[in-house]
Amino acid sequence: MAKLIINNEVKKSTINPEIYGHFSEHLGRCIYEGLYVGEDSDIPNVNGMRTDVVEALKEMKIPVLRWPGGCFADEYHWMDGIGPKEKRKKMINTHWGGVVEDNSFGTHEYFELIRQLGCKSYINANVGSGSVREMSEWVEYVTFNGVSPMADLRKKNGHEEPWKIDYLGVGNENWGCGGNMRPEYYADEYRRYQTYVRNYEGNAPIQKICCGSNTDDYKWTRKVLETCFDHSEPHQHGFMDGLSLHYYTLPEMVDDWNVKGSATNFTEEIFYQTLKRGYYMEELVTKHGNIMDEFDPGKRIGMMVDEWGIWTDVEPGTNPGFLYQQNTMRDAVLAGMTLNIFNKHSDRVKMANIAQLINVLQSVMLTDGEKMIKTPTYYVFKMYAAHQDAVLLDSNLTEGSTVGSGKNELPKVFESVSEDKDGVITVTLTNNSLESAEDIDVRFVSDGDKYGVCDASFVTGKMNAHNTFDAPEVVKEEKFTAFEKNAEGLKITLPKCSVVCLRMKKG
């Protein structure tokens, strides 16, 4: 039997809520239909935002939403998306399906959505095809409270008060779709652009995020930090607050990027290959983190994993440029495992944004006209929300076994443990096995006899179990009862292919 030792006397880093963040791009049906249907839609909405989606996201405790891309961000000109809607420019979304973008969802609509969700804002500015002036004026438009051309324009467009930008990305994937830059060149551009991100009085600070690496491009991380890291103490804060990292799990890709594998139709071998590829996140976070430590041992710069998740082939018959994919128990287990990895690295990982929120890639929800369903990944985020703002506790899983074989072998169980401000301990676990349940002896270093389970839930199912518009609750959060209290803690049994959340407090 595996043993989970929880050292509740060793409190580690605080788990930043933004680790549970999301990403929304003008891509396929993410913004249009997924989030925004317009004020005149028959779909129930408040100021154009779908009520069913907003309510579900609030219930899931969405902490931050990145917008407007992605690759779209480096072609987005924010002034096209303000003012009377009938006058807004129509453009071609060249990256995603070549469809017409009518700019009816722009800055005002984004901040209205943020208001309704009650979450933090994360705007990604255009470096690839934009200008310093354009970015700086966007910041002025959104956040300045005095008399200025941009603040006046915002007021003329109907919003007297400024909004708050919590995070600002200085470009996206500038090693690729954001300008195909070399790290040395981008780093100099970063220095220049970030200079003009002004923190206006009463509305500061804006946390600036520098474009980091694609997957294992450690050279990018090092080169960018060599040029951008400001060693003079007072200046560092606000010069660079975060460095991003993008990593997608492509279940079956070998050489051809166009063959990633089906979202629902895969073998057991591919299931384990997918999880093993997802587990690569542990190595990426560790190795990029080690380079960051060389420059920033005090860990003031956050690693922002602002794009991650499973990327499969699109659903048959759908627009290949829309990246619409189904979501199964495989997605749930990968999400649970990855979030446990982020929690355990929460001294460095300060934000992570799964791609993407709705109808695109590994989504938490899917829509079909007025219908909306929650995916298995949704329930993982909802269960794990208890970790937001809690303190990571030292935990150690021993005598556990592995699953998969050969190059696809990985640990069977992934866990993380935190304690919230009320002393409630949250333990989240994944059982990555398709073959067997796992018994775990959970022990506390102190007061094990005093802890009782106050809440417990889980998701489980066959590896490709998923929700559809006809059968929306094949996978859903259910009450978890497979535990027994004992003198040192408790014994739990994780069903195969499951994600479990236990909450415990002293009784």
**Tokens standing for 302?**
């956050």
Contact 323, 314 (CB under 8 A): yes
Task: Out of 45, 172, 273, 312, name the contact with ligand AHR by CB under 6 A.
Answer: 172
**Tokens standing for 140?**
């002025």
Stretch that binds ligand AHR, among 68-76, 114-122, 271-279, 406-414 (CB under 6 A): 68-76
Contact 425, 418 (CB under 8 A): yes
Q: How far is CA 393 from CA 6, 74, 390, in A?
A: 7, 40, 9
Instruction: Give the nearer residue to ligand AHR in terms of CB position, either 71 or 291.
Output: 71
Task: Compute the least distance from the CB of residue 25 to ligand AHR, in Å.
Answer: 5
Interface residues for ligand AHR in 199-258 (CB under 6 A)? Answer: none
363 touches ligand AHR by CB under 6 A: no
Closest CA to 355 of 245, 435, 199: 245
Stretch that binds ligand AHR, among 9-17, 200-208, 353-361, 428-436 (CB under 6 A): 353-361
| Residues listed for the chain | 507
Stretch that binds ligand AHR, among 67-75, 232-240, 342-350, 364-372 (CB under 6 A): 67-75
71 touches ligand AHR by CB under 6 A: yes
Interface residues for ligand AHR in 6-25 (CB under 6 A)? Answer: 25
Q: How far is CA 48 from CA 41, 105, 277, in A?
A: 8, 9, 39
Instruction: Give the nearer residue to ligand AHR in terms of CB position, either 71 or 329.
Output: 71
Task: Compute the least distance from the CB of residue 309 to ligand AHR, in Å.
Answer: 8
- Distance of alpha carbon 89 from alpha carbon 505, whole angstroms: 55
Task: Compute the least distance from the CB of residue 333 to ligand AHR, in Å.
Answer: 21
Peptide bond into 70 cis (omega under 30): yes
Contact 240, 205 (CB under 8 A): no
Q: 140 catalytic, yes or no?
A: no
Count of residues that interact with ligand AHR, criterion CB under 6 A: 10
The active-site residue, picked from 109, 173, 282, 419, is 173
Helix axes 51-59, 107-117, angle to 10 degrees: 50
Task: Compute the least distance from the CB of residue 355 to ligand AHR, in Å.
Answer: 4
289 touches ligand AHR by CB under 6 A: no
Stretch that binds ligand AHR, among 139-147, 269-277, 283-291, 355-363 (CB under 6 A): 355-363
Contact 356, 23 (CB under 8 A): yes
Task: Compute the least distance from the CB of residue 124 to ligand AHR, in Å.
Answer: 9
Task: Out of 17, 34, 68, 69, name the contact with ligand AHR by CB under 6 A.
Answer: 69
Instruction: Give the nearer residue to ligand AHR in terms of CB position, either 178 or 495.
Output: 178
Task: Out of 355, 366, 429, 459, name the contact with ligand AHR by CB under 6 A.
Answer: 355
Task: Out of 173, 189, 282, 331, name the contact with ligand AHR by CB under 6 A.
Answer: 173
Quote helix, strand, coil % in the chain, to nearest 5. 30, 30, 40
Give 106-154 as a 3 state SS string.
CHHHHHHHHHHHCCEEEEEECCCCCCHHHHHHHHHHHHCCCCCHHHHHH
Task: Compute the least distance from the CB of residue 122 to ligand AHR, in Å.
Answer: 13
- Distance of alpha carbon 13 from alpha carbon 418, whole angstroms: 10
Q: 484 catalytic, yes or no?
A: no
Stretch that binds ligand AHR, among 79-87, 354-362, 365-373, 413-421 (CB under 6 A): 354-362
Residue nearest to ligand AHR (CB): 70
**Tokens standing for 295?**
């420059």
The DSSP code sequence of 345-400 is: TTTTEEEEEEE-SBSSSS-SEEEETTEEEE-HHHHHHHHHGGGTTPEEEEEEEES-
- Distance of alpha carbon 12 from alpha carbon 251, whole angstroms: 33
**Alpha-carbon torsion, ordered 12, 13, 14, 18, to 10 deg:** -140
The active-site residue, picked from 33, 109, 307, 419, is 307
Task: Compute the least distance from the CB of residue 362 to ligand AHR, in Å.
Answer: 10
Contact 24, 356 (CB under 8 A): yes
Task: Compute the least distance from the CB of residue 219 to ligand AHR, in Å.
Answer: 19
261 touches ligand AHR by CB under 6 A: no
Residues at the contact surface with ligand AHR, assessed by CB under 6 A: 25, 69-71, 172-173, 307, 355-356, 361
Indicate which residues carry an active-site annotation: 173, 307
